[in-house]
């Protein structure tokens, strides 16, 4: 059942190992990377309680010693104070230039630990062990690392590729259903942006992925990672094609800002709603058929996911205010909003040529039914 996806980036290439029970075998994969049998692990307090001892056992079995720092769980950790604490801790643990840092956790830990590894002693290698579905299919692969600034999310960071990613699909069993489905929003995104057959497969097998069928989970993670790896290999630093990975994200970032980056809307929930809105906009611009947005929404609905603005609890600002929030997105280029639109399911493309009126009308109609 175990799969390997290779991320082809020349001398920065690496493998993503995907399958059940990888934590307890982690030492076998990490050992060849080490100059000495010792690693420093950054994790969060929740993940530490659930998975740190399994990782320790997996490393010890290969003769590797482990020290760990558990930071508080949650987005607030992706900030200067916790970053400083992590870097100072790594220095106190005498992590050297040839050592390896391990990130055990979701997107927050992976992004922070990757950035710490990028700057520690001008760059040490790191291994991602993502423990959430979102981190397995998105943030652990591709080398975007960083923290949030008071002025916005992910504004401070570096491209720093991991040396290995271990995506243990067994650990997904400890996620809440809401968090799991939030990560599934990013899985759906891959089918919608570039692989209609994968979207067909998700329509048929999404319920098995959600209910814990391991073979279905491994396939969903593998196909997602394969697609991300292909795009990152073509455009590592997002000069062009990598922006396709932001399907649904322009709407999502406005909705996240409007809901104060709170529990009202998780990132993957915003991505799912954003994908539905991006297809609605594409259909209204005559780019794809009217059936496509209906099909996207039907699948999200069938999975029990947030699909429409009405599914976000509490008040939302008006359409104009939401468009203004889009303008603050860091992916704005020369003041032009960049959208990922689609000519059909699996056929997304990047464009800055979207009339503001069309965006306003999609949002006004979506708000009217909310």
Minimum distance from CB of 94 to ligand GLY (Å)? 32
Q: Is 189 in the site for ligand GLY (CB under 6 A)?
A: no
Q: Which helix (H) or strand (E) holds 149?
A: strand 144-149
Contact segment (CB under 6 A) with ligand GLY among 123-131, 136-144, 250-258, 300-308 equals 136-144
Q: Is 110 annotated as a binding residue?
A: yes
Minimum distance from CB of 218 to ligand GLY (Å)? 21
Q: Is 138 in the site for ligand GLY (CB under 6 A)?
A: yes
Name the residue nearer to ligand GLY (CB basis): 9 or 62: 9
Contact segment (CB under 6 A) with ligand GLY among 4-12, 106-114, 137-145, 309-317 equals 137-145
In DSSP terms, which residues pair with 159 in a beta bridge? 144
Name the residue nearer to ligand GLY (CB basis): 138 or 280: 138
Q: Is 107 annotated as a binding residue?
A: yes
DSSP of 246-266: GTTHHHHHHHHHHTTTSTTS-
Q: Do 180 and 186 contact (CB within 8 A), yes or no?
A: no
Sort strands 164-168 and 125-130 into parallel, antiparallel or unpaired.
parallel
Name the residue nearer to ligand GLY (CB basis): 135 or 257: 135
Q: Is 78 in the site for ligand GLY (CB under 6 A)?
A: no
Distance (Å, rounded) from C-alpha 338 to C-alpha 332? 6
Name the residue nearer to ligand GLY (CB basis): 241 or 347: 241
Distance (Å, rounded) from C-alpha 215 to C-alpha 2? 9
Q: Is 242 in the site for ligand GLY (CB under 6 A)?
A: yes
What is the number of residues in the chain?
370
Q: Where are the extended beta strands (E) located within 160-282?
A: 164-168
The pair of three-digit structure tokens given for residue 112, joined into one six-digit string:
């922070």
List residues with catalytic annotation: 122, 144, 186, 228, 238, 242, 246, 249, 253, 267
Q: Is 144 in the site for ligand GLY (CB under 6 A)?
A: yes
Q: Is 134 in the site for ligand GLY (CB under 6 A)?
A: no
Taking CA 43 as the corner, what is the angle to CA 10 and CA 24, rounded to the nearest 5 degrees?
75
Count the residues of the shown chain that bind ligand GLY, applying the rule CB under 6 A: 5
Q: Is 135 in the site for ligand GLY (CB under 6 A)?
A: no
The residue written with tokens 């399907």 in the block is 247
In DSSP terms, which residues pair with 147 in a beta bridge? 156
DSSP of 59-70: HHTTT-EEEEEE
The closest of 306, 8, 265, 308 to 143, measured between CA atoms, is 8
User: For residue 263, what are the CA distances in angstroms to 74, 82, 165, 198?
Assistant: 11, 21, 28, 30
Q: Is 144 annotated as a binding residue?
A: yes
The pair of three-digit structure tokens given for residue 21, joined into one six-digit string:
């029970």
Position with the least CB separation from ligand GLY: 245
Minimum distance from CB of 311 to ligand GLY (Å)? 23
Q: Is 147 annotated as a binding residue?
A: no
Q: Is 108 annotated as a binding residue?
A: yes
In sequence order, the 6+-apart residues with CB closer than 8 A to the CB of 346 are 191, 192, 193, 194, 195, 196, 197, 198, 199
Q: Is 45 annotated as a binding residue?
A: no
Choice from 19, 20, 106, 142 touching ligand GLY (CB under 6 A): 142
Burial class (CB in 10 A: 0-12, 13-18, 19+), 81: exposed
From residue 191 to residue 230, the character string flagging contacts with ligand GLY as x (rule: CB under 6 A) and all else as - is ----------------------------------------
Q: Is 318 annotated as a binding residue?
A: no
Name the residue nearer to ligand GLY (CB basis): 252 or 363: 252
Q: Do 195 and 105 contact (CB within 8 A), yes or no?
A: no
127 — phi, psi (to 5°)?
Answer: -115, 130
Name the residue nearer to ligand GLY (CB basis): 27 or 143: 143
Choice from 245, 252, 266, 300 touching ligand GLY (CB under 6 A): 245
Contact segment (CB under 6 A) with ligand GLY among 138-146, 176-184, 206-214, 287-295 equals 138-146
The pair of three-digit structure tokens given for residue 138, joined into one six-digit string:
């998105």
Name the residue nearer to ligand GLY (CB basis): 135 or 258: 135
List of residues contacting ligand GLY (CB under 6 A): 138, 142, 144, 242, 245
Annotated binding site for NAD(+): 107-111, 131-132, 144, 153
């Amino acid at each position: 059942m175990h799969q390997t996806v290779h991320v082809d980036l020349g001398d920065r290439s690496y493998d993503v190992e995907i399958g059940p029970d990888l934590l307890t075998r982690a030492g076998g994969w990490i050992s060849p990377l080490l100059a000495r049998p010792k690693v420093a692990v950054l994790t969060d307090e929740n993940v530490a309680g659930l998975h740190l001892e399994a990782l320790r056992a997996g490393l010890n079995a290969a003769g590797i010693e482990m020290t760990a720092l558990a930071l508080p769980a949650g987005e607030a950790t992706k900030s200067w104070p916790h970053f400083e604490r992590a870097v100072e801790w790594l220095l106190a643990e005498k992590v050297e230039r040839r050592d390896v840092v391990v990130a055990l956790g979701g997107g927050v830990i992976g992004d922070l630990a990757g950035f710490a590894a990028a700057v520690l002693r001008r760059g040490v290698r790191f291994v991602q062990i993502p423990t959430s579905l979102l981190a397995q299919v998105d943030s652990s692969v591709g080398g975007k690392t960083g923290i949030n600034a008071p002025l916005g999310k992910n504004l401070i960071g570096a491209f720093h590729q991991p040396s290995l990613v271990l995506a243990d699909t067994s650990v997904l069993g400890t996620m809440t259903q809401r968090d799991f489905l939030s990560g599934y929003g990013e899985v759906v995104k891959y089918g919608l942006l570039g692989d209609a057959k994968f979207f067909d497969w998700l329509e048929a097998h999404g319920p098995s992925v959600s209910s814990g069928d391991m073979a279905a989970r491994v396939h969903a993670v593998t196909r997602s990672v394969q697609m991300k790896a292909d795009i990152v290999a073509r455009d590592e630093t997002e000069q062009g094609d990598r922006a396709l990975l932001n399907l649904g994200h322009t709407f999502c970032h406005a909705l996240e800002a409007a809901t104060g980056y709170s529990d009202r809307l998780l990132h993957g929930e915003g991505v799912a709603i954003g994908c539905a809105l991006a297809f609605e906009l594409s259909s209204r611009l005559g780019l794809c058929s009217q059936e496509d947005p209906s099909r996207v929404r039907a699948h999200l609905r069938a999975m029990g996911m947030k699909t429409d603005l009405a599914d976000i609890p509490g008040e939302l600002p008006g359409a104009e205010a939401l468009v203004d929030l889009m303008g603050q997105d860091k992916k704005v280029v020369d003041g032009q909003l960049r959208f990922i639109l689609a000519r059909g399911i699996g056929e997304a493309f990047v464009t800055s040529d979207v009339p503001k009126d069309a965006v306003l009308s999609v949002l006004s109609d979506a708000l009217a039914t909310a």
